[in-house]
Amino acid sequence: MKVQVNDQNKISPNLVFFLIHAVQVGVGILGFQRYIAEKAGYDAWISVLLAGIGGSIIIKIMYSMLLKEEGDLIEIHRTAFGNTIGNILSVLFLIYYFMMALAVLRTYIEVVQVWMFPQLSIFPYAFAFLGLVYYIVAGGIRTVTGIAFMGVVFPLYLILTIVFPLRYADFGDLLPIFSHAPIDILAGVKSTTLSYLGFTTLLMYFPFINDKRKSHIWAQLGFQFTTILYLLVAVVTFAFFSKEQLATTIWPTLTMFKIVEMPFVERFEYIGISSWALIILPNVCISVWAFSRGLKRVFHMQQYTGLKISIIALFILMLPFKDRQAIDQLNNYVSTIGFYVLYAYIPCLAVVYHVVRKVRDKHEA
């Protein structure tokens, strides 16, 4: 069934590029190199590429459902499983969106705590940050898209800093290629998942896209831009660090920032970490938007109410995650769930959905 939205709230198809890319790049890119190298060694860049291809297929699958339904995830669930079960599944999915926002925000605050302000009290900062998120999400999908755009464009300058580690890079470290078994490389694909997550929010904002068919190519481009970015970062990281060194570095990307030295700024990581808030912001905003929009669609409540619920819940649930282990655990959960959602649940859903539609269409005809 078609989901109707006000024309005024629609976004042009090319902005899907930013929505997809912005929600993917978050805290994952700060430390994914270590996780993937643990599994696939310095062949892990192949895993990054494979994950890029995998994601591309998943996006295609999502579009096949969305274009047919002309609606969102909730509608797809209802069509495939009926109202009750469909709604339950939708709620589970929404919780996953919520966990994504939580993991990203909490990890970012941890990074700030470790690198800049060990004594930073979480509450005031989280309050200010979530206030900002509220302000943005209350502006609707157009403002959220705007912040996604800004969150991609402004921090683009950070890519330039890759030049500095290159001076210490030894690309010979990547040799010999294919020294790991294919199974290890596939395990590496699983480890990259956290950094690729989030683009499933497409399932929620799809009805808001003008010219939906055209947006497919932009979604793919946005995803591939992420892949290229990760590939670049991974390769430079592997060339910059020796294996053992990487294995004991929690946030290799930030450690690479440390080597950046400019005439007017000696230690770039402080600027890098601060600027990272701009990368985190669209991430949290899109997830929170998807969550609150989902609550509205499932429970027919005001989206304002849904938004307030999600902000307060984020604020409170930040409490139990106090140390590195807990946060790591949270990220692992999100990553694992995300992996199965992407590569198991969505293909299965697509199969069920298309079968149900076919049967129904035949029935109606």
Interacting residue ranges for another protein, rule: CB under 8 A: 12, 14-15, 112, 114-121, 123-125, 127-129, 132, 135-136, 139, 143, 146-147, 149-150, 168, 172-173, 175-176, 179, 241-245, 248, 255, 258-259, 261, 263-271, 273-275, 277-278, 281
Residue 86 or 282: the one with the smaller Cβ distance to another protein is 282
Q: How far is the CB of 284 from another protein (least distance, A)?
A: 11
Residue 157 or 264: the one with the smaller Cβ distance to another protein is 264
Number of C-beta neighbours around residue 88 at 10 A: 13
Residue 176 or 320: the one with the smaller Cβ distance to another protein is 176
The Cα–Cα gap between 306 and 298 comes to 11
CA torsion sign for 356, 362, 363, 364 is: positive
The Cα–Cα gap between 71 and 75 comes to 6
For the chain, the distance separating the N- and C-terminal CA atoms, rounded to the nearest angstrom, is: 17
Which tokens sit at 271?
């600027």
Residue 89 or 112: the one with the smaller Cβ distance to another protein is 112
Q: How far is the CB of 70 from another protein (least distance, A)?
A: 24
The conformation of residue 11, written as its DSSP 8-state character, comes to B
Residue 190 or 293: the one with the smaller Cβ distance to another protein is 293
The Cα–Cα gap between 224 and 235 comes to 16
Strand partners, 11: 209
Q: How far is the CB of 69 from another protein (least distance, A)?
A: 27
The Cα–Cα gap between 137 and 181 comes to 45
Q: How far is the CB of 268 from another protein (least distance, A)?
A: 7
Q: How far is the CB of 214 from another protein (least distance, A)?
A: 16
Q: How far is the CB of 121 from another protein (least distance, A)?
A: 4
Residue 274 or 336: the one with the smaller Cβ distance to another protein is 274
Q: How far is the CB of 27 from another protein (least distance, A)?
A: 15
Q: How far is the CB of 33 from another protein (least distance, A)?
A: 15
Q: Calculate the dihedral angle through the C-alpha atoms of 217, 201, 76, 353, rounding to the nearest 10 degrees.
A: 60
Q: Measuring CA to CA, which residue among 161, 198, 185 is closest to residue 290? A: 198
CA torsion sign for 94, 98, 99, 100 is: positive
Specify whether the CB–CB gap between 285 and 263 falls below 8 A: no
Residue 114 or 232: the one with the smaller Cβ distance to another protein is 114
Query: What's at 38, amino acid-wise?
Result: E
The Cα–Cα gap between 244 and 249 comes to 9
Q: In the Cβ-directed half-sphere of 339, how many Cα atoms lie within 13 Å?
A: 15
Q: Calculate the dihedral angle through the C-alpha atoms of 271, 107, 198, 137, rounding to the nearest 10 degrees.
A: -70
Q: What secondary structure does DSSP assign to 302-318, as a single string?
A: -HHHHHHHHHHHHHHHT
Q: In the Cβ-directed half-sphere of 147, how many Cα atoms lie within 13 Å?
A: 25
Residue 253 or 255: the one with the smaller Cβ distance to another protein is 255
Q: How far is the CB of 153 from another protein (least distance, A)?
A: 8
Which tokens sit at 5?
């939205």
Residue 55 or 165: the one with the smaller Cβ distance to another protein is 165
